[in-house]
Amino acid sequence: MLDSPLTKDTSSSAASHPVLDFQDISLAYASKGHTTTVLDRVSFAVERSQFVSIVGPSGCGKTSLLRMVSGLLPVQQGTLNFQGSPINGSLHSVGIAFQNPVLLPWRNTLQNVLLPLEVVQPHKQHFRQKLTEYKQAARELLATVGLDNFQKHYPWQLSGGMKQRASLCRALIHQPEVLLLDEPFGALDAFTREDMWEMMQALRQRTQCTAMLVTHDLREALYLSDVVYVMSPRPSKIVLELPVDLPRPRTMEMTFTDEFHHLYDRLRRHIRH
CB of 232 to ligand ATP, least distance (A): 11
CB 241 to ligand ATP: min, Å: 17
Measured from the CB of residue 207, what is the shortest distance to ligand ATP in angstroms? 25
Min dist. Cβ of residue 266 to ligand ATP (A): 20
Rounded distance, CA 46 to CA 114, Å? 27
User: Of 199 and 213, which CB lies nearer to ligand ATP in the complex structure?
Assistant: 213
Residues 174-193 as x/- pattern, contact with ligand ATP by CB under 6 A: --------------------
Burial 101-119 (b: 16+ CB within 10 A, else e): bebeeeebbbbbbbbbbee
Q: Contacting ligand ATP (CB under 6 A), which of 31, 90, 129, 132?
A: 31
Nearer to ligand ATP, 11 or 58 (CB): 58
Nearer to ligand ATP (CB atom), residue 62 or residue 165: 62
Which of 38, 138, 213, 227 binds ligand ATP (CB under 6 A)? It is 38
* C-alpha–C-alpha distance, residues 82 and 72, integer Å: 14
Q: Which residue, 29 or 102, has its beta carbon nearer to ligand ATP?
A: 29
Instruction: Name the minimum Å distance from CB 225 to ligand ATP.
Output: 17
Cβ closer to ligand ATP: 29 or 84? 29
Which C-beta is closer to ligand ATP: that of 60 or that of 172?
60
Number of chain residues interacting with ligand ATP (CB under 6 A): 10
Nearer to ligand ATP, 31 or 90 (CB): 31
Tell me: does residue 58 bind ligand ATP (CB under 6 A): yes
* Cβ neighbours around 132 below 10 Å, total: 9
Q: Which of residues 60-119 bind ligand ATP (CB under 6 A)?
A: 60-64
Which positions lie near ligand ATP, rule CB under 6 A?
29, 31, 38, 58-64
